[in-house]
Amino acid sequence: MKIAVIGAGSWGTAMAAHLAYLGNQISLWAREPEVAEGINSKARNPLYLRDLNLPARIMAGNDIAHALKQAEIVVMAVPSRWTRQVAEEVARNINAEIPVLNLAKGFDYETGRRLSETIGEELGEAGRVAVLSGPNHAEEVAKRVASATVIASADPDVARRLQGIFSSDYFRVYINNDIAGVEVGGAYKNIIAIAAGVLDGLGLGDNTKATLITRGLAEMARFGSRLGANPITFSGLSGIGDLIVTCISRHSRNRRFGERLGRGEPPDRILRETKMVVEGVYATRAVMARTHGIDIPIAESVYQVIDRHAKPAEMVERLMTRGLKEESEENLYRDFLLT
């Protein structure tokens, strides 16, 4: 089938390749002219996943309207900062029945809302929107390394249709109707991954990181529940699965950003020197703007380091010396279900 992939960064390129391997005809929109030229002339993206030979079924271009022409499915793979702008362009150029799958993991840059809500506003029909999230580094999906993911949509028929199209023997797709939980997990784990990188930069150990991941999961569930998510969703691939891989992987740009913070580098300089978007920075700011009175000490600590020039080691000490608590059944239940 004809699928338009909007965005030719690492994840968009990897997903275009995956869908082309499955026999689909891919129209890939790239913002940079040199990316489109490189893909069409050399079957390689010169800026992202540069060592990947792309399948012949991918044609790239810089005209978004042309990329969307006759598309039966639209895959959006642009950073959260540009989601609304791109969704507006998509809405002008597709028919009302075309489903739109979002790959970005973050919150709306202007409003702090979930990205599917933003896309739904622009399309005028939230039921057409789906999201994909899970422990899926682009570098591994592009090489067809076995992994699994979750597609969520308010419309179960849309989710099931996309599940059939995107599934393969190396990319296993589950579906879920909790679009809020799947989205919040994908966005919030980037915040925890920055904190995990800080621990690496400070030279702390596996015990410390395991503690962070565990408490980060509880924090994620508390925040997500207030946005309407089912807290049980965070025990799945888009929650704990994505959280683990993003906190430990050498591919994680959020973890690398945090590692440099932990070594004492200023955040503004790191961001200037980082070619790809560090979504966790914007997610942290969005979460802090919508705390709803929830106890989110890890996100608050990351925010203090990024935007208030706090010293990473002091934030770790503050987390470790908070008021002592019980890990009782009641407290665990409150963390994950009652918030």
- Residues annotated as part of the active site: 189
Cα gap 107→114, rounded to integer Å: 5
Checking DSSP bridges between strand 147-153 and strand 129-133, what pairing results, if any?
A: antiparallel
- HSE-up (13 A, CA, CB side) for residue 287: 33
CB 205 within 8 A of CB 262: no
Q: Is 144 left (phi over 0), alpha (psi -120 to 50) or beta?
A: left
Query: b/e per residue, 150-179, with b = 16+ CB within 10 A?
Result: bbbbbbeebbebbbebbbeeebebbbbebb
Cα gap 169→172, rounded to integer Å: 7
How far is Cα of residue 153 from the mean position of the Cα atoms in its chain?
Answer: 16
Contacts of 140 (CB under 8 A, 6+ apart): 147, 251
Cα gap 125→155, rounded to integer Å: 11
CB 272 within 8 A of CB 282: no
Phi then psi for residue 61, to 5 deg, are -165, 170
CB 95 within 8 A of CB 128: no
